[in-house]
A and B are shown apart, each in its own frame.
Chain A
Amino acid sequence: MAQMKFMCDAERCIECNGCVTACKNANDVEWGIQRRRVVTLNDGEADEMSISVACMHCDDAPCMAVCPTDCFYKTDDGIVLHDKDLCIGCGYCLYACPFGAPQFPQQNAFGERGKMDKCTFCAGGPAETKEEEYQKYGSNRIAEGKLPLCAEMCSTKALLAGDAQDVADIFRQRVVHRGHKDGAWSNNPQASTDNLAYDAARKG
């Protein structure tokens, strides 16, 4: 079985925010929610670096571990999805998530959180009908044999999506091709080139 992962190649990301727009469009995400974000470190400085971030579909997902309603589940493809019918908007997944992926619409009194929304790897979610699925979770491109739209539309192919092995292979080729020690996520002991589509929540 495939283990679906995202990986963003920071050498290529030009913070065009195309992934953010593609995601919004593909999933008809509600107002105020932005499933993908682009973070820029040291903007305007010589060592500026950008990276596109959303749910990383962790192997050992912290959100799953702390959810009081147990509304998360993992598909056979390793995609972390959640059931909005079970979600109570407690916010615990947000406290635990390393990537700030879960978001909550705030339409109720006292800032009470609505049902959590996050990136589904364009794999929809549990619903009776296709229409309901689209309305609640957005498109299910995986069911159509397509990859997430953010990665497919990435203009520099910085954002890669797919089976962890394939993503790692593509990235390893790039790094080898670049040929220098800073060709990958340099200086990070946790991100060797063989382990780049890594389980983000894994320690050490």
Chain B
Amino acid sequence: MTTLTMTTAQVPSRAPSWRQRCWRLCLMLVLLVASLGVTQLAVAQADPNREMTTAAPGITAEQWRQVRSGETGPNYRDSRHESNYNLINASGETWRILRNRWVSPFGLIAVLGMASVITLFYLVIGRKHLDEPRTGRKLFRWSLFMRSLHWTVATLFITLALTGLNLLYGKFVFRTLFGDAVWAWMISASKVLHNYLGPMFGILLIVLLVKLLKDNIPKKHDLQWFKQGGGLVGKGHPDAGFANGGEKAWYWLLATAGLIVVASGFVLDFPNYGQGRDTMQWANIIHAVGALGLTAVALGHIYIGTVGTEGSLEGMTTGYVDETWAKEHHNLWYEEVKDQAISEEELAARKAGGSSEPSTAKPS
């Protein structure tokens, strides 16, 4: 366009005389007739140099670099309504490779690997029984509020883990297994549950973390607990307060990785705040890595809390643990509260009285 305007501007302003016009007309006619024969040839052999002057200029290497890197200059336009996209979503392929080639296979290895290790541990070493017989006297450990909170968070965690795993791996199993009709319902339910329960989990996790903070401050004896592998290495039980080293590690994992997973989940869950594709790609990778890691570790927590250790589960179901269990697993805590131990009869009487909690129970 620029060239065209320049050519027009170069036309001389002086008007030619009548005679000159006449000559020009004749000349033009002659040229026209003469050119008829060669026009076809001329078109077929367009002059590259002339073409060059009217063509849109070639794109520079710098512009290609911009397009590929996703930068947009001030004179970038997109005709789509409210679009904030660049021409090429350059990070999309990176995200795809990270998710499909790294997170997806290694997440599966982590979760299945953990499950295998636990199964193997159970088969080879077996359940950790109490060394001494139970005394039958009970110690109050978890209030009804904490038990309710724990099981609510646990149920939400398991639901989120299962739906999340379905979102990542389900298509490889269930679509072929059940067919499209069931799969459509399954995956759609997974997404809705995951998206709506996620924020609930996040809020309750924070409440749980706040309530447990006091008992999970790291102490010097926790180091010894880890050195002895929680009692697996060497003789005897390492020292432990209300929470042992392993429980504290799980607490701080949830307080760090757990909260990061929650935060990245919020970024993904509410796309109405205008966060772009790039932000959500990173949020997705962080969310997936964190959540798969937590799922793998949670399997360990579930094992130790249920079949792995005799006497542990009852603390979180009834609220009371046996004196022997407390002495063996949480000796420092036992020393603090041993005078509050009650017999089973007293406990039954207390429950019959409508309260399962001692009036002077510690708040946690």
Q: Which residues on A are within 8 Å of B, measured CB to CB?
A: 10-11, 15, 17, 20, 32, 34, 37-49, 51, 53, 62, 65-70, 83, 85-86, 88-92, 94-100, 106, 110-113, 177-183, 185-188, 201, 203
Q: In the bound complex, how far is the Cα of B271 from the Cα of A186, in angstroms? A: 37
Q: Say how far A110's CB is from chain B's closest CB, in angstroms.
A: 5
User: Could you tell me if A187 and B56 are in contact, using CB atoms closer than 8 angstroms?
Assistant: no
Chain B 44-86 interface mask (CB, 8 Å, partner A; 1/0): 0011110110011111110110010000010111111101010
Tell me if A177 and B59 are in contact (CB < 8 A): no
Could you say which residues of chain B place their CB within 8 Å of the CB of A43? 75-77
**B187 and A111 form a contact (CB under 8 A):** no
Is B272 at the interface (CB under 8 A from chain A)?
Answer: yes
In angstroms, Cα B100 to Cα A101, docked, is: 20
The answer for the CA separation of A186 and B49 in the assembled complex, in Å, is 16
Answer whether A98 and B184 are a contact pair too, CB < 8 Å, given A112-B195, A180-B52, A188-B64: no
Add 9 more A-B contacts to A51-B87, A88-B188 (CB < 8 A): A11-B56, A40-B76, A47-B57, A49-B59, A69-B183, A69-B184, A83-B180, A95-B92, A100-B85
User: A109 → chain B, closest Cβ, in Å?
Assistant: 9
Question: How many Cβ-Cβ contacts under 8 Å join chain A to chain B?
Answer: 169
Q: How far is the CB of B51 from chain A (nearest CB, A)?
A: 6
Does the CB pair B99–A66 fall under 8 Å? yes
Closest to A179 in B: B48
Closest residue of B by beta carbon distance from A47: B57
A180→B271 contact, CB < 8 A: no
A68 contact from B187, B272, B281, Cβ within 8 A? B187
Tell me if B167 is interfacial: C-beta within 8 Å of chain A: yes
Shortest C-beta distance, A58 to chain B (Å), equals: 11
Q: Which residues of B contact A69 (CB under 8 A)?
A: 171, 175, 183-184, 187
A89 to B277, CA, bound (A): 14
A-B pairs, 9 with minimum CB distance: A111-B272, A182-B58, A186-B58, A37-B80, A179-B48, A100-B85, A40-B77, A70-B171, A88-B191
- Whether A47 lies near B51 (C-beta < 8 A) is no
Q: How far is the CB of A64 from chain B (nearest CB, A)?
A: 10
Indicate which residue in B56, B79, B95, B190 contacts A95 across the interface (CB closer than 8 Å). B95
Q: How far is the CB of A181 from chain B (nearest CB, A)?
A: 7
Q: Which of B163-188 contact A (CB under 8 A)?
A: 167-168, 170-171, 175, 180, 183-184, 187-188
CB-CB < 8 A to A203: which residues of B?
93
Q: When the two chains form their complex, are residues A47 and B87 in contact, meaning their CB atoms are under 8 A apart?
A: no
Bound form: Cα–Cα A11–B58 in Å? 9
Query: What separation, in Å, do the CA atoms of A17 and B46 have in the docked complex?
Result: 30
Does B145 lie at the interface of the complex (its beta carbon under 8 Å from any beta carbon of A)? Answer: no
A46 touches B61 (CB 8 A): no
Contacts A32-B81, A37-B79, A68-B168 given; indicate if A95 touches B284 (C-beta within 8 A). Answer: yes
Give the residue among B78, B92, B171, B280 with the most A Cβ atoms within 10 A.
B92
10 contacts between A and B (CB under 8 A): A38-B78, A38-B79, A45-B75, A62-B93, A62-B96, A89-B191, A91-B271, A95-B277, A98-B92, A182-B57
- Judge if B18 is at the interface, Cβ distance under 8 Å: no
Q: What residue in chain A is nearest B67 (Cβ atoms)?
A: A41
The answer to whether B59 touches A94, judged by C-beta atoms less than 8 angstroms apart, is no
Q: Do the beta carbons of B63 and A178 come within 8 Å of each other? A: no
> Is B87 within 8 A of A53, CB to CB?
yes
Q: How far is the CA of A182 from the CA of B168 in the complex (A)?
A: 45
Assess A187 versus B60: contact at CB under 8 Å? Given A45-B75, A95-B277.
yes
Q: How far is the CA of A183 from the CA of B269 in the complex (A)?
A: 46
Nearest Cβ on chain A to B363's Cβ, whole angstroms: 35
- Nearest Cβ in chain B — how far from A113, in angstroms? 7
Do A66 and B80 contact each other (CB < 8 Å), given the known contacts A43-B75, A49-B59, A178-B46?
A: no
